[in-house]
Structure 1
């Protein structure tokens, strides 16, 4: 193989890498995290989320050092291979591959279920299949196009979160947020600790998969400069959004009604503006961009992982072939779908 067919094209700057990092995770700001309230309460979960944010900040700063030192499409696979040899690389590479290949079907079905609510005649399974076809094609067309699209939908998803906070702000009350905030109790005690530990997985939901941006390292221009800016800015963005979403959603009414549902943001907004508000309909529609951003970003991630494993000889060599025109791993993109 020539370099033209085995070397990825360096086109990504800090801003688009930031879009990939945030986009991979942004759907977690919309749903899933509120189950932590049912375990720890609003205040208990806030403490847990801040602790997890601190952990992820430390992790990302350490991860950034590895990514800039070894800018490789395999991400964790490359780092483990360098440190522990072929066996360590194999374990880390395939563990990462499983994570990124098995996540998109769930998100695709969520997109299908969401559109089925708006258009009952649509079969969620066919919508999910259509989502795969559309976004795999977009990834094949070129990393520049794919990353720009990811940036746009990520910015729209962030804009919608900011709109949510602004719309519900008039109905916010700190007393609502703090009521029964320690796992159902008004004050902290040791009885809140089991619930706080049980809420840890839901706090991780705010940040899970941001490390996938490292798999775009081979396509980054000047990775020693762009990657630290992108990942550092990404973790800061996600932390600020997570805190804002939690506080504003929990302060508009009885947060316990939002603790065990998949759509806490629309339900929280409904408490303030009612069922027929145009703001609510806009939130429901633009909320789809959060799912799309994560789905599209994870497709980018799994394709680079398959490509790097194939290039290293762990998967068929044909999967490391790049499209001659777009310089994207088209066979790896298709293989993961």
Structure 2
């Protein structure tokens, strides 16, 4: 095995990866934030988080173009802030990419279960894990081309959903019981607003495999972020406006739903109609796109830790036949399947968001630090309006992680306890290398 990745990715494949990493957030998960804050609370949370992601994406582009390595935020923090903060960033990134896929896998099972109740959700999720981990082992260009194909289908499906439901939009439905829990509802909805965009930073993790990364990563990030903001607004307005927010949060037995779009579509067309079945069938592509894309990015993030001995060395090896991080992909799969058995989508999403926010905060600090310590570093892309954009992303990210810890104290304790335990083990074992 080697430690080198092939450069095969073009701008269109990067757009497919960028949108694909995230697009499942349009299909499920975000609706759970409506239970916390209602339509207005979730809308305000989503607006704040959208601003954070726009500022973050431009800032992250500068880092990924200047330091095009597979570790993404881990590599930036390691260079700017030293190996200790680098390790914490790398571990946070791995937690994000390990915990986001199980939540999506559960949703895939839930979508299939709508049409085929006899198909068990968890077993379906495990089969999906095995299939798409194997696809990622076979090669990044095959994986990225497949990702582009299903991402285009998923985007088309969201446009179709909007076209069918928006004629049934009602302002009365959209504003019904629109604000609950006040400011607390807004803050409690933040992790689910982040789920709309979580994973976009995965584009940076394929920088080493990108043709002319200094130019093409900028195109990939920018076009993907614009696409996602437009889709977010469309899905939010159409889903809630067709029947009110409660109709896409609760199933008939008042339990929480992992399939809001079919619930919204059922208010516009019959469940027996071709259009409804199409939403379920093609809707799976959106979930698969993100599931597959995050597995791809997660493999690179875990590999990078192993490559420089911040994690067990075998994780950093590249399969010589397929030029993919096979060991890292398999270990991530095992951890993800273990998380499936909690069967708690909201909690899994929240843990993934804690990891993402840690990555965002430290990455923005790294950008500010590198501007001072390495002013002559070649930066093919420079973030506009510096330092306003990175500082804005940093402040919103910091506010978000504080409020999430307040509303989710047990999960916060679990997350930060894992980070602390990992750091202690790193300090013990890294010294012996």
- For residue 193 of structure 1, report the CA deviation from its aligned partner: 2.6
Aligned residues: 327
What does residue 256 of structure 1 align with?
Answer: 246
* Counterpart secondary structure, 2:23: helix
CA 1:226–1:86 in 2, change beyond 3 Å: closer, same or farther? same
Greater CA deviation, 257-266 or 145-154? Answer: 257-266
Uncovered stretches (5+) of structure 2, i.e. residues with no partner = 251-256, 334-433
Which structure 1 residue ranges, 4+ long, deviate > 6 Å from structure 2? none
* Counterpart secondary structure, 1:313: coil
Which deviations, in whole Å up to 9, do the C-alpha atoms of 1:123-174 show, x marking residues without a partner? 4333222212211111111110000111111111111110000011221233
User: In structure 2, what is the Cα distance between the partners aligned to 1:252 and 1:111?
Assistant: 24
What does residue 139 of structure 2 align with?
Answer: 142
What does residue 369 of structure 2 align with?
Answer: none
State the superposition RMSD in angstroms: 1.9
- Map of 1:1-337 to 2, 5 A cutoff? 5-183=2-180, 192-260=182-250, 261-337=257-333
* Counterpart secondary structure, 2:311: coil
- For residue 203 of structure 1, report the CA deviation from its aligned partner: 1.3
* Counterpart secondary structure, 1:319: helix
CA 1:135–1:92 in 2, change beyond 3 Å: closer, same or farther? same
* Counterpart secondary structure, 2:268: helix
CA 1:121–1:247 in 2, change beyond 3 Å: closer, same or farther? closer
Which deviations, in whole Å up to 9, do the C-alpha atoms of 1:90-133 show, x marking residues without a partner? 11111211221233233223323433443344343332222122
User: In structure 2, what is the Cα distance between the partners aligned to 1:110 and 1:238?
Assistant: 20
User: In structure 2, what is the Cα distance between the partners aligned to 1:133 and 1:118?
Assistant: 22
CA 1:263–1:97 in 2, change beyond 3 Å: closer, same or farther? same
User: In structure 1, what is the Cα distance between the partners aligned to 2:144 and 2:164?
Assistant: 30
TM-score (normalizing by structure 1):
0.91
CA 1:202–1:109 in 2, change beyond 3 Å: closer, same or farther? closer
TM-score (normalizing by structure 2):
0.71
User: In structure 2, what is the Cα distance between the partners aligned to 1:98 and 1:52?
Assistant: 20
Is 2:90–2:305's contact at 8 Å kept on the other side of the alignment?
A: yes
What does residue 186 of structure 1 align with?
Answer: none
- For residue 180 of structure 1, report the CA deviation from its aligned partner: 4.0
CA 1:275–1:15 in 2, change beyond 3 Å: closer, same or farther? same
